[in-house]
């Protein structure tokens, strides 16, 4: 049996698009911004995607630096998302721009270069680069 992560999302009535997300023992609110008809009671879906990429990148870089016993003091990842029209594509392309800040004055240039390389090898980054499969079906109990 594969290791399955389960996230359950329910409308919460706090705004027209307000939801409560239950995942791994955590509750997260989600919503659309007021400009999109929501109540801005939580992050929007693309906010969470960008945050997931940044979170995974921070963790991946930290784990690698610890395994190497490198003097990395702090990792900060800034992820910006936008849609961009590109030649050869019929529809706008989803673009996630990721900037990695590596703090640690004792890191060598080679260590910094390797950490940037590693930052592109985290599981979420790889999921974005692959073509994930999404299967949709009606859940039991629907009427």
The one-digit pLDDT tens for each residue of the chain (143 residues) are 678 999 999 999 999 999 999 999 999 999 999 999 999 999 999 999 999 999 999 999 999 999 999 999 999 999 999 999 999 999 999 999 999 999 999 999 999 999 999 999 999 999 999 989 999 999 888 77
| Backbone angles phi and psi of 87, in degrees to 5 | -60, 135
**Residues 3-18, buried b or exposed e (16+ Cβ, 10 A)?**
eeeeeeeeebeebebb
Handedness of CA 55, 61, 64, 65 (dihedral sign): negative
Angle at Cα 120 formed by Cα 46 and Cα 86, nearest 5°?
55
Domain 44-130 CATH class label:
alpha beta
């Amino acid at each position: 049996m594969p290791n399955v992560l389960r996230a359950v999302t329910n409308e919460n009535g706090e705004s027209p698009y307000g939801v409560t997300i239950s995942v791994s023992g955590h509750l997260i609110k989600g919503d659309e911004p007021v400009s999109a008809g929501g109540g801005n009671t939580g992050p929007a879906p693309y906010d969470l995607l960008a945050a997931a990429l940044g979170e995974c990148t921070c963790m991946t870089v930290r784990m690698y630096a610890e395994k190497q016993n490198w003097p990395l003091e702090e990792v900060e990842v800034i992820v910006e998302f936008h849609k961009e029209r590109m030649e050869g594509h019929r529809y706008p392309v989803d673009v996630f721009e990721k900037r990695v800040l590596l703090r640690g004055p004792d890191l060598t240039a080679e260590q910094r270069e390797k950490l940037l390389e590693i930052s592109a090898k985290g599981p979420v980054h790889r999921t974005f680069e692959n073509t994930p499969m999404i299967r949709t079906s009606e859940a039991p109990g629907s009427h």
